[in-house]
Amino acid sequence: MKVEDTPEAWDVVETRHRFKGHVIEVVTDTVRMPRDEVADRDYVVHPGSVAVLALDERNRVLMIRQYRHPTRQLMWELPAGIRDVAGEPLVTTAARELAEEAGYRADTWYTLVDLRSSPGMSDERIRVFLARGLTKIPDEENGFVQQHEEIDMPVEWVPLADAVEKALMGMIHNSPAVAGILAAYAASVEGFALLRPADAPEA
């Protein structure tokens, strides 16, 4: 059997809309199961997001720390954001997040890894990009005004090997950060030669 996720859609008998917020929606689908049984499945409808594993010439990962209210934690993460511009290429969204949250631009972009954050309860897709050839954006060129959780977010450069250790030791928990760090470390073995282009299609 080929080990690869494939499209599949079981029959939905009924959909009930439970909640709609600024970003997410919660729905209940009544799904026809094998042997002609039906069962309710609650899930979050999410616009999707992107994240950026920015790696400098010294093999250090750019990380930011942000307050996440649902977890009641200050979490170390990669620059990331919601896909909130219809039709915008994902790499453009990622470049904007890198600029806004960390104040950097990159010359080279690759698709690092694609994730489903929690497929049992959400349809969210996350694409993590690898960004290389980094330069700091002069303050006078970066007009983004940080607000709410983004105010005074620290930026830290962490050696990739140290970031891997922190992920495996349970010191970093953000899922795209953990996946991106481990994927970058694995891809570095082949000199990043096996990575997909930045505009690779999503499955």
Please identify which of the residues 124, 150, 165, 202 carries the catalytic annotation: 150
**Nearest Cα to 32, choosing from 9, 54, 55?**
9
Please return the burial class of 179, using the count of CB atoms within 10 Å of its CB with bins 0-12, 13-18 and 19+: buried
Measure the CA–CA gap between 201 and 170, rounded to whole angstroms. 32
Q: How many Cα atoms within 13 Å fall on the side-chain side of residue 161? A: 2
117: left (phi over 0), alpha (psi -120 to 50) or beta: alpha
Active-site residue flag, 150: yes
Helix (H/G/I), strand (E/B), else coil: 152? coil
Q: How many Cα atoms within 13 Å fall on the side-chain side of residue 136? A: 4
Residue 202 φ then ψ, to 5°: -90, 140
Helix (H/G/I), strand (E/B), else coil: 120? coil
Both tokens of residue 22?
Answer: 């600024």
Catalytic residues: 150
